[in-house]
Structure 1
Amino acid sequence: MKQIKKIFIITILAIVMTACGNTSATDEEVSISLTITDQTTNTTISDDDFTVQSGTPLLTILENNYDVKVTDDGFLTAIEGYQQDTDESIFWTYEANGEMVNEGIADYEVEDEDHITFDLQVIE
């Protein structure tokens, strides 16, 4: 009986120690800035700073802080009432740290000091 008790205690301690030492980068808070502009009217819609968990999808940040519309396919179509117009070739684009991003907003996970810019603009 003592042997079973010892094994049980050792097992519990191992589980607790593993759980305590298993912190991931997603537990870290990071600072990002987010600028949203309408290039067709030279309007700044928003210019905000956020503190979020590292690895948070960009779509989650948008949905938690703005009125956004996204298609079932994950394409952004409107922010705060500013809507793309496919007939006029006006679309939302976004950059992270000055570079165009080639992945959807649901897949982009933010990192510390990211500066993200959304622009509603004519794409020719």
Structure 2
Amino acid sequence: MKQKIMISYVLLLSLLLVGCAKPSIDGTSTSTEASSAEKSATQRTAEISFVNNSDDTSAALTDKTVTFEEGTTLMTIMKDNFELVEDQGMITSIDGLAQDEGSGYYWTYTINDEMINTGANDTFLGENDQVVFTYEKFE
């Protein structure tokens, strides 16, 4: 008798699980469609611009609007869009304009006019953020 109850219980549970599954209208899996919609929903854009406060005016950096996936680090965004050199998560050269420790020139950056004190590896951007990289002298 216990065996019949157990079998009935398993069959009922199986039918319940199958009945709760959401069928696809065209017979294809909806998970692919959902993940595509999710990806397009997480696309973000930001403005990256540059200020060169050195005497080297030959290094002209071009501002750019970038597109990226939500959750992408600033370092990855920069590597995808500019010629970049980094050291331990800190950007040391952008499009050939490298920091010069001897002269005291370094790269800093702000996001939406706020000075950021973390490395680009630890920084994430939001939608329509304004990032300004400044090459300037520190004494």
TM-score under structure 2 normalisation? 0.70
Q: Distance in 1 between matches of 2:86 and 2:91?
A: 4
Deviation above 4 Å: which 4+ runs of structure 1? 10-13, 23-27
The percent of aligned pairs where both chains have the same amino acid is 22
Matched residue, 1:89: 104
Counting strand residues as a fraction of each chain, which structure ranks higher? 1
What is the alpha-carbon root mean square deviation over aligned residues? Answer: 2.8
The question of whether the paired residues in 1 share the 8 Å contact of 2:49 and 2:133 is answered with: yes
SS of structure 1 residue aligned to 2:120: coil
Aligned-partner residue type, residue 107 of structure 1: D
Unaligned runs of 5+ in 1: none
> Where do 5+ consecutive residues of structure 2 fail to align?
1-9, 23-29
Larger Rg: 2
Q: CA deviation at 1:31?
A: 1.9
CA distance in 2, matches of 1:12, 1:52: 34
1:1-124 alignment, distance < 5 Å: 2-9=11-18, 27-40=41-54, 41-42=56-57, 44-71=60-87, 73-124=88-139
Residue aligned with 1:63, SS: helix
Residues matched between the structures, number: 117
Q: CA–CA distance in 2 between the matches of 1:69 and 1:7?
A: 57
| Cα distance change on mapping 1:38 and 1:28 into 2, 3 Å | same
TM-score w.r.t. the length of structure 1 is 0.78
